Amino acid sequence: MSEELEQIEQVENEVVEKSAKKSPSAGSDFMGLEIFYEKNKKAITYGGGAILAIVAIFSFYKFYWLPGQEKEASNEAFFAQTYFEKDSFMVALNGGLNVQTADGPKTMMGFRDLADNYSGTKTGRLANYYAGICLLRTGKFEEAIESLEKYNGKDEMIAPIAIGAIGDANMELNKVDEAIKFYLKAAEQSTNSFTTPLYLKKAAFAYEQKANYTDALATYERLKNEYSKSTEAREVDKYIARVKTLGNIQ
């Protein structure tokens, strides 16, 4: 038995010796780190300082500067929004009128300037949408498309309306294929009982303008089947009958 114990002990000693040769000690690890730091001390110091500077700038931007800009943009947008709701689209778009504020009289800013001056804020991005609608309603269709395409919000209602408005502008420019593309995109952007049936109906009507009665029928039938309780579906049977007659579809 003692011989067996001696053999086991010898094996254990050999394992320990091999491990010691393969793995450096904690002390040597620490010494290696010290040597590395001494060799690269300047780079590490400058790198750490740069990271701290980036963190500080980001924190200032996100928690101080951006909220201040957002509040300022919201205050400016109040007046443009007021004129937009009165259908005074040119004033809402371009501003320029004298208005009274808590700090005294000032010249109001329109949605166009709001979008340019506060592009980093939610209000500034939303101003692109409002500017686009103002341009659409005043017959500036190419400019309307350009402005609406800058809006990239995800609001459940505004996002599909912005896309659908691009479709409207294209219809006014007699670009029916483009209009259909944007109407269908608007219908799928946020499926709901308000915007989806609205843009399905517009897409179906646009198909009719191209004498594409097959796709018009399919789109009207989707409107009827999926959104039968919507306002747009109230007279859909009449539209279905019309395209069947025009397209000689049984």
How far is the C-alpha of 15 from the C-alpha of 21, rounded, in Å?
10
- Is residue 143 in a domain? yes
Read off the pLDDT of each residue in 190-198 and give the average, rounded to a whole number.
94
Q: Is residue 73 part of a domain?
A: yes
Digit-coded pLDDT (tens) for 15-49: 334 444 444 444 455 455 556 555 565 555 555 54
Domain count, the chain: 1
Whether residue 159 is contained in a domain is answered as no
pTM here is 0.74
121-169 residue pLDDT tens: 899 899 999 999 999 999 999 999 999 999 988 889 999 999 999 999 9
Name the least confident of 34-38, 203-207, 236-240.
34-38
What is the predicted pLDDT for the residue at 11? 39
Is position 162 within any domain?
no
Q: What residues have CB less than 8 Å from 203, skipping those under 6 apart?
A: 167, 180, 183, 184, 187, 219
Q: How many whole angstroms separate alpha carbon 109 and alpha carbon 113?
A: 6
Q: Which two tokens stand for residue 227?
A: 């959104």
Residue 117 lies in a domain: yes
Handedness of CA 175, 178, 180, 186 (dihedral sign): negative
Cα–Cα distance for residue pair 77/124, rounded to 1 Å? 9
Q: Across 2-6, 9-13, 173-177, 187-191, which has the greatest mean pLDDT?
A: 173-177
**What mean pLDDT, rounded, does the chain reach?**
81
Structural domain including 87 reads: 64-153
Residue 112 lies in a domain: yes
Strand partners, 98: 107
Q: What is the pLDDT of residue 86?
A: 94
In one letter, which amino acid is 122?
Answer: K
Percent of the chain with pLDDT over 90: 58
pLDDT(53) > 60? no
Q: Average pLDDT, stretch 187-209?
A: 96
* C-alpha separations of 22 from 16, 18, 125, 141 in Å: 10, 6, 61, 75
Q: What is the DSSP track for the chain?
A: -HHHHHHHHHHHHHHHHHHHHHS--HHHHHHHHHHHHHHTHHHHHHHHHHHHHHHHHHHHIIIIIHHHHHHHHHHHHHHHHHHHHTT-HHHHHHEEEEEEETTEEEEEEPHHHHHHHTTTSHHHHHHHHHHHHHHHHTT-HHHHHHHHTT-----TTHHHHHHHHHHHHHHHTT-HHHHHHHHHHHHHHS--TTHHHHHHHHHHHHHHHTT-HHHHHHHHHHHHHH-TTSGGGTTHHHHHHHHHHHTT--
pLDDT at position 22 is 44
Is 69 part of any domain?
yes
| 8 A C-beta contact, residue 222 and residue 213 | no
What pLDDT digit, counting tens, does each position of 60-97 carry? 345 444 465 688 878 888 999 999 999 999 999 999 98
pLDDT at 103: 77
- For 195-209, the DSSP string reads HHHHHHHHHHHHHHH
C-alpha pair distances (Å), 83 with each of 64, 131, 206: 30, 12, 32
**Could you give the CA distance from residue 159 to residue 153 in angstroms, rounded to a whole number?**
6
Across 100-104, 116-120, 143-147, 174-178, least confident range: 100-104
pLDDT at position 65: 44
Residue 184 lies in a domain: no
Rg for the chain, CA atoms, rounded: 34
